Structure 1
Amino acid sequence: MRLLVTGATGKVGQAFLPAFLQEPRFAGWGVVALCNNRVIEAGDRLSVVKGSVADPDVVSVALSGVTHVLHLAAVKETPDQAIDVALKGLYLLLDHFCRKGDARQFILLSGDCVVGHIFQDYPEPITEQSPRKAYPGAYALTKVLEEVMIEQVGIQSGLNWTTLRAPWIMEKDDFRQAFALGEEQFGGPPWSALLDPARHQRLREGRCFPVMRDAQGGYLKRSFIHVDDLVRAILSSIDNAKAFGQLFNIAMNEPVDYGRVSERVRAVGGLEPADIETSFHSNWLDNSKARKILGWRPEIDLDGLVERAWTYQRAADDPRIVWYPG
């Protein structure tokens, strides 16, 4: 068996590759990493192909001998690259892969942007059957089209596909930096867009922790997943017949309640909560299907997210990386 991984140098790819290579179930497998802007070193079981997924010749070379594909490559709010990477790239991978006689499974990593996470209102937990309602922007739109494309190719060609839909992916001190009030904030929405300049400055100068309220006035609830739990879900899906032709939500068992976060951060870091009114909607990405069919369960809960993020110390050779803008 041979697995092709796109986006191998990204956040998920860097966590996945060593876990895959160390997993006894895949001891006899080879891996090929398709890299473009960043390149990793080849190893005993790991080969590297450099080039773009939008180049049919590169895709053809990368798929040589491949039986399984894990498509992690993505761009976010970069419209000039969105068509090439998200649509043309996925189309070429699927088209070439489906022509292979030994093609066994194609796994796509998607995101909860396809259901609009905090931008769209859902009156009940979001399951795999909930309607797709992308929030504004190129990234969410392309992810919706990716999910539909792989499903339809499966219908047309009989391809064994699997889509894993993840919410905001955390590693290292990401969760702490998501609440940072200064330039070091990770992700969004930026606090400068939610606060008037004077209050934003006051909160930055004090030992304050921003706590978003949702459109109904309660504490915002939003789904997260730690990269380690996501990697375990991917490993559970590879060459698993139960995952063929299936879409799975891969999220924590419960959404993160920003009010509970503020309580834990006050205990851990001594920061005082500061409520911020927003028009966002609380959501719950339901992972029941993945737990039942894959036998997967997330191990890192809210306490684990807070503990890992607030105790993590970055070394000088471990700079924060913006994997893609937006």
Structure 2
Amino acid sequence: MKVLVTGGAGFIGSHVVDQLIQENHQVVITDNLSTGNEAYLNPEAKFYHVSIESDDMGAIFASESPEVVIHLAAQIDVQKSLHDPQYDAAINILGTIHLLELCKTHQTRKFIYSSSAAVYGNPNYLAIDEQHPIQPLSSYGISKYTPEKYIRMYADLTGLDYTILRYANVYGARQIPKGEGGVVSIFVDKLLAGESPIIFGDGLQTRDFIYVGDVARANIAAMYEGSREVVNISTNSPTSVSDLYSIIADIYKTDLRPQLAQARDGDILHSYLDNAKAARVLGWKPQISLLEGLNKTVEYYQSIHKTKVLL
């Protein structure tokens, strides 16, 4: 199957591409490398250095005719979305509409969209299921939810199939220290440098941390299952930021203590997502525990750090 992956040089996208290649799919990547990294590109995939908003995307669709589009390219920084909501909307909303227009023109069969737990805002109840009210607290949450409405409209008007995946806090190898799950890579970066990381708030805020390999598997599953569904991709388990740091510190065998700073605007206090629907409609469940995932992540960054030291 030919699959186009937007943001395929990025953190999550590169893992999705790797799994697609392992399953012998033909993969086309588009990425503007604003946060993606050429080093993460799978050499067996075809790469176009282009933004999703660009008119050049039309020629790529015409040439490649993808059967499935996995849309991961996005502006992911919550704080940046608050400071520059116009830029955030231009990429996350208008960029997605551009892709949907191209899918309509070139008769793409399915569109798999990476949404976010940020669309739910402060929860009315826990665990958050897919029926929870939509009440985003940030421009980012708004700009991730709005394309969901457009996707449904295009499906109704054109017959485009879709699956919308609402991720919890994704972490793992290749992550940059930004975005929703970036706290893991921030902690790791600081400890590698022998510095104390900063925790915003009292550290008791909770998140649902999901390993990137499990998220990639969910995207693969959505190519075949979950027709016209919205699905949480999560562990269904809360972990406080303080506990997260303690686990990472134990892995490093360090006694460095984090510094506490004032909580940030737009940050949600507690959040974890119900993943029962993912098991039901995608046949998907997370396979990597938090401890195993953090060990894998730390090992990756330690190997990168050692390489830099040797150079």
Q: What TM-score comes out, normalization by structure 1 length?
A: 0.74
Match of 1:304 in 2: 292
Contact 1:177–1:184 under 8 Å retained in 2: no
Name the stretch that deviates more: 81-90 or 127-136: 81-90
- In 2, Cα distance between equivalents of 1:184 and 1:133: 37
Match of 1:205 in 2: none
CA deviation after TM superposition for structure 1 residue 88, in Å: 1.9
CA deviation after TM superposition for structure 1 residue 153, in Å: 1.7
Gaps of 5+ in 1: 195-210, 214-219, 320-326
**3-state DSSP class of the match of 1:147?**
helix
Match of 1:68 in 2: 68
Contact 2:129–2:232 under 8 Å retained in 1: yes
Asked if 1:295 is matched to 2:283, the reply is: yes
Distance 1:127 1:84, change over 3 A: same
Match of 2:105 in 1: 99
Match of 1:221 in 2: 206
* Cα-to-partner distance string for 1:35-64 (whole Å, 9 max, x where unaligned): 2236756855x32223222123x1212213
CA deviation after TM superposition for structure 1 residue 274, in Å: 7.5
Return the match for 1:32 from 28, 33, 53.
28
CA deviation after TM superposition for structure 1 residue 73, in Å: 0.3
Instruction: Map 1:181-260 onto structure 2 (within 5 A).
Output: 191=199, 194=201, 212-213=203-204, 220-238=205-223, 240=224, 242-258=225-241, 260=243
Contact 2:20–2:27 under 8 Å retained in 1: no
Distance 1:297 1:183, change over 3 A: closer
Paired AA for residue 247 in structure 1: V
- In 2, Cα distance between equivalents of 1:133 and 1:225: 22
- In 1, Cα distance between equivalents of 2:13 and 2:268: 30
**The structure with more radius of gyration:** 1
Match of 2:123 in 1: 121
- In 2, Cα distance between equivalents of 1:266 and 1:182: 11
Instruction: Map 1:93-172 onto structure 2 (within 5 A).
Output: 93-101=99-107, 103-116=108-121, 120-137=122-139, 139-172=140-173
Distance 1:19 1:282, change over 3 A: same
CA deviation after TM superposition for structure 1 residue 10, in Å: 0.7
- In 1, Cα distance between equivalents of 2:282 and 2:294: 27
Contact 1:226–1:300 under 8 Å retained in 2: yes
- In 2, Cα distance between equivalents of 1:6 and 1:262: 32
Q: What TM-score comes out, normalization by structure 2 length?
A: 0.77
- In 1, Cα distance between equivalents of 2:120 and 2:238: 15
- In 1, Cα distance between equivalents of 2:68 and 2:259: 47
Identity of aligned residues (%): 24
- In 2, Cα distance between equivalents of 1:280 and 1:245: 28
Paired AA for residue 298 in structure 1: P
**3-state DSSP class of the match of 1:53?**
coil
CA deviation after TM superposition for structure 1 residue 183, in Å: 10
Distance 1:300 1:43, change over 3 A: closer
Paired AA for residue 50 in structure 2: G
Match of 1:324 in 2: none
* Cα-to-partner distance string for 1:138-181 (whole Å, 9 max, x where unaligned): x2221011222212221222210111111221113866544479
Asked if 1:14 is matched to 2:14, the reply is: yes
Q: Which has the higher helix share?
A: 2
**3-state DSSP class of the match of 1:3?**
strand
CA deviation after TM superposition for structure 1 residue 307, in Å: 2.9
- In 1, Cα distance between equivalents of 2:146 and 2:307: 35
Contact 1:175–1:309 under 8 Å retained in 2: no
Paired AA for residue 13 in structure 2: G
- In 1, Cα distance between equivalents of 2:26 and 2:298: 37
Contact 1:2–1:31 under 8 Å retained in 2: yes
- In 1, Cα distance between equivalents of 2:43 and 2:187: 38
Match of 2:274 in 1: 286
Gaps of 5+ in 2: 176-181
**3-state DSSP class of the match of 2:152?**
helix
CA deviation after TM superposition for structure 1 residue 128, in Å: 1.0
